[in-house]
């Protein structure tokens, strides 16, 4: 989340002719067949089943191969550092080709993403975790947002590869979900008081809003990528960015 990244607004584009994957991507672009489930109202957390299709998930994974570098951390004013004790995954930045634009436009039209019309979607990034890799408790929002001129308004975290044990996404401050119907997506065996831990399931996503109505970061959105114990977990981050002046007046 470095503020010098170039932000992109969504725009319609067309596939290059001769692209072998065009028909499946075009279909996926046309129909949004995901289902949404309310996990928490405050903070707003929505579980999204099938946000991406299995084909899209594997294409996104393929697009990120060979691009992985150590994952950065950001200080409150947006400066980058590295600390593998805190965050030991790898990160790949994706080029903005057709599939990426489809996913961006799906995110943009997501009904719970109540964005001001000029809010932006940051360049998409993929996070990869092998055994022991994790991202400890953190917020996606910046505490020193005035310096950055804006903040991370909402997050979609999409599991695009989940051949792993462990590696859940834990929100320690969310109220535990008591109904057993959630157990297909959340860890129902965890200790009491551990909040909510979503299990990595390919294609599914978690969406949450990071800021309150005044544009202030919500501490209840604290979350972590728990250590993977075996196998591989790969996730796509879609971060939406709201400019600071509008965060105050229009969120
Ligand atoms: O790996 C996860 O489950 C969460 C990742 C995350 O929180 C992030 O990339 O900001
Ligand atoms: Fe995060």
For residue 223 and ligand 1, the question of a CB distance below 6 A is answered with yes
- The ipTM, to two decimals, is 0.99
**Tell me, what's the pLDDT at 187?**
96
Task: Determine if ligand 1 sits within 6 Å of the CB of residue 135.
Answer: yes
The contacts of residue 113 (CB under 8 Å, 6+ apart) are 107, 154, 207, 240
Q: For residue 111, how far is its CA from the centre of ligand 1 (angstroms)?
A: 22
Instruction: Indicate whether residue 171 lines ligand 1 (CB < 6 A).
Output: no
User: Domain 33-250: which CATH class?
Assistant: mainly beta
pTM comes to 0.86
pLDDT, one tens digit for every residue, the chain (251 residues): 433 333 333 333 333 333 445 455 555 576 778 999 999 999 999 999 999 999 999 999 999 999 999 999 888 777 888 989 989 999 999 999 999 999 998 998 898 887 666 678 999 999 999 999 999 999 999 886 556 778 899 999 999 999 999 999 999 999 999 999 999 999 999 988 899 999 999 999 999 999 998 889 999 999 999 999 999 999 999 999 988 765 444 44
Centre of ligand 1 from the C-alpha of residue 125, in Å? 11
Smallest-distance ligand from the CA of 89? 1
Ligand 1 atom 5 nearest Cα: 225
Domain ranges of the chain: 33-250
């Amino acid at each position: 989340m470095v503020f010098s990244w170039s932000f992109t607004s969504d725009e319609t584009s067309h596939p290059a002719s001769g692209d072998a994957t065009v028909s499946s991507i075009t279909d996926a672009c046309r129909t949004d067949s995901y289902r949404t489930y309310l996990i928490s109202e405050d903070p707003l957390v929505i579980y999204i089943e099938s946000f991406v299709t299995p084909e899209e998930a594997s294409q996104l994974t393929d697009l990120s191969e060979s691009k992985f570098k150590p994952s950065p951390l950001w200080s409150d004013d947006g400066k980058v550092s590295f600390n593998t004790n805190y965050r030991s995954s790898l990160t790949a930045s994706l080029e903005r080709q057709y599939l990426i634009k489809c996913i961006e436009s799906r995110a943009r039209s997501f009904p719970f993403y109540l964005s001001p019309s000029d809010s932006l979607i940051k360049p998409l990034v993929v996070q990869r975790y092998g055994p022991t890799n994790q991202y400890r408790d953190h917020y996606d929002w910046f505490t020193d947002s005035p310096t950055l001129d804006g903040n991370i308004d909402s997050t979609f975290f999409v599991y695009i590869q989940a051949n792993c044990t462990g590696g859940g996404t834990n929100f320690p401050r969310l109220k535990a979900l008591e109904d057993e119907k959630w157990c297909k997506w959340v860890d129902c065996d965890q200790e009491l008081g551990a909040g909510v831990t979503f299990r990595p399931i390919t294609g599914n996503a978690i969406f949450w809003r990071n800021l309150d109505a005044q544009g202030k970061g919500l501490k209840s959105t604290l979350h972590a990528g728990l250590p993977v114990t075996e196998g591989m977990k790969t996730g796509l981050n879609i971060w939406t960015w709201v400019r600071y002046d509008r965060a105050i007046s229009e969120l």
